[in-house]
Structure 1
Amino acid sequence: MHKRNRAPSTDESTVKLGSPESPHRVKKRKLLDSYVSESPFPEFPHPTPSEAYAVLDILSKAYPQYATAPVALDPKFASNSAATCGNTPNVIDSLIGTILSQNTSGKNSSRAKASLDATFGNFAAIASSSREAVVEAIRQGGLANKKAATIQNLLKSIEQRYGEYSLQHLAEAGEDGQKLSDEDIMKELTSYDGVGPKTASCVLMFCLGRDSFAVDTHIFRISKVLGWIPSSADRILAQAHLDKRLPAEVKYGLHVLMIQHGRTCKGCKKSGTTAACILKEFLKGIKASKSL
């Protein structure tokens, strides 16, 4: 496999792929470029570092089995990237696993990934097979038609761009000994149709070991409950904001723990519920202390 010093620029990629960027891809790129150096809400003061550490402490005590350091990127512990949020040394496999994990349960996405691997065995076979065959292989993961199209188009684009099914240059140092920046990797990953900031951030965090903060539906909802994002924020802007505000060393832990809390806590899933929520109790305590 030949070495690459850097990812191509978007213009270079477009020329090599032989087609103009889609409007959605252009929108993603412009949005990411806008918030490389600062939050989309620079005047919004939350979360503060102390708030982030406080929530990390609360959730770590509530879910001690998930309060761990990042798992080592060892292939024998990451045979199914859909079951581990993309925790695998192979960048493309991480992308595929993350795509399959979208909008479904961990059990269903894991089964879909295992079926995909057993059916095809390698990236070239997935890319060259019929759409119907890929859909059938991942059907149990939900949204099979959409995910099959995303995965096949992703693989074909990578092969057209680089002449091989590999994105390992994103994990390796170039000839100058330097690795690509988080921003450059994010631009590369989101240049592919169907790969949004959340998916790219998961790859950065779980595959490449970078300090990134992916925002899924659970984290988005909980961040609103905590008052960590403005009411006007959508998920992409929320991720851009939180990635700038949160201390690097808490990003991995908060991501894992907030998702677990979102999956299990009934008290913060619906407004107006009487069910208990440890984070809502935390907020009540802050409000009470301010009123004294």
Structure 2
Amino acid sequence: MTDPAGRQNEAQRIRQIVARLARAQPASRKVRRDPLDELILTILSQSTSDANCYRGWEALRAKYPDWEAALAAPPGEVEETIRPAGLSKQKSATILGVLSRLRNEQGSPTLDQIQTLDDSEAVEYLTGFKGVGVKTAACVLCFALGRDVIPVDTHVHRIALRLGLVPENASAVRTHEILNEIVPPELRYELHVLLIGHGRSVCTARKPRCGECDLADCCPKVGIHTGGR
């Protein structure tokens, strides 16, 4: 556990990181979605590009007027519908598993019930679905419920490691735990969005553009000398 003085220093450093990155990136408006929509969209986003994810999402919503209709679809139809998002067999199984369990438990496919849960309870409930991990659950809390949590995707994880915000061997799950402890609540959404943008354009997995980085003078560049993460 970080001592109070150390935590204050960490918070100040994070505020500086946010301020610097915000100068280089346009402001992002927080979008609120239905919790179940957000969960399914995030499942589609796993291991694919944003463009392919949204192609799969738009095809899914165009095909089915509601989630009950998706559950009633012939075998293999949902898989074929979301093929543009990649890993369609795995993702369709996860989506249909979520919808089926919700209908059995709630009478219809809905996640409205998690709005009354606190953050830890909601994460525990969501990760109880096969194929739903901590990052996916955190996206639902952040983007659907408006909770002050920071989802840790591959960009956030990589940059947190390089900046030394977390130990060099920290897993994505451990990084989630640490960042949600040290990042001031009001900055978690903004930091998440800024790190994703920074990871895509500057602090890339391979050949990071350190010469163009707004954080270059305060970044220990952990792991970059070995090819980065």
TM-score tier after normalising by the smaller chain length? 0.7 to 0.9
More helix by share: 2
AA at the equivalent of 1:98:
T
Kindly indicate whether the alpha-carbon contact (under 8 Å) linking 1:69 and 1:253 is maintained by their aligned counterparts in 2: no
**Which residue is equivalent to 1:120?**
64
Is residue 48 of structure 1 aligned with residue 10 of structure 2? yes
Query: Taking structure 1 as the reference length, what is the TM-score of the superposition?
Result: 0.69
Alignment partner of 1:261 is 2:205 = no
Q: Say whether residues 1:205 and 2:167 are aligned partners.
A: no
| Counterpart among 217, 222, 229 of residue 281 in structure 1 | 217
Would the aligned equivalents of 2:162 and 2:219 in 1 still touch at CA under 8 Å?
A: no
Alignment check: 8 A CA contact 1:109 1:140 kept: yes
What residue number does 1:248 align with? 185
- Describe the SS at the equivalent of 1:48: helix
8 Å Cα contact 2:56/2:82 also seen in 1: yes
- Which of 21, 24, 29 is the aligned partner of 1:62? 24
Indicate the SS of the match to 2:146.
coil
- In structure 1, what residue type is equivalent to 2:218? F
Runs of 4+ in 1 over 6 A off after TM superposition: 271-274
CA RMSD of aligned residues (A): 2.1
Tell me how far apart the structure 2 counterparts of residues 122 and 68 of structure 1 sit (CA, whole Å): 29
What TM-score, normalized by structure 2, do the two folds share? 0.87
Identify if the C-alpha distance between structure 1 residues 148 and 43 changes in structure 2 by more than 3 Å, giving closer, same or farther: same
Q: How does 1:53-132 map to 2 (within 5 A)?
A: 53-63=15-25, 65=26, 67-68=27-28, 70-71=30-31, 73=32, 88=33, 90-132=34-76
Q: CA deviation at 1:201?
A: 0.5
Shift in Å, 1:251: 0.2
Share of identical aligned residues, percent? 34
1:235 is aligned to 2:172:
yes
Does structure 2 retain, via aligned residues, the 8 Å contact 1:268–1:277? Answer: no
- Higher gyration radius (CA): 1
Q: How does 1:78-227 map to 2 (within 5 A)?
A: 88=33, 90-171=34-115, 179-227=116-164
- Against the structure 1 CA distance between its residues 119 and 188, is the aligned structure 2 distance closer, same or farther, given a 3 Å change threshold? same
Maintained 8 Å contact 2:17/2:215: yes
Distance 1:272 1:207 in 2: 32
| 1:12-35 superposed Cα distances (whole Å, 9 cap, x missing partner) | xxxxxxxxxxxxxxxxxxxxxxxx
Distance 1:150 1:138, change over 3 A: same
- What is the deviation of 1:93? 0.9
Partners of 1:132 and 1:270 in 2: CA distance? 37
Query: Which of the pair has the greater relative contact order for Cα pairs under 8 Å at 6+ separation?
Result: 1
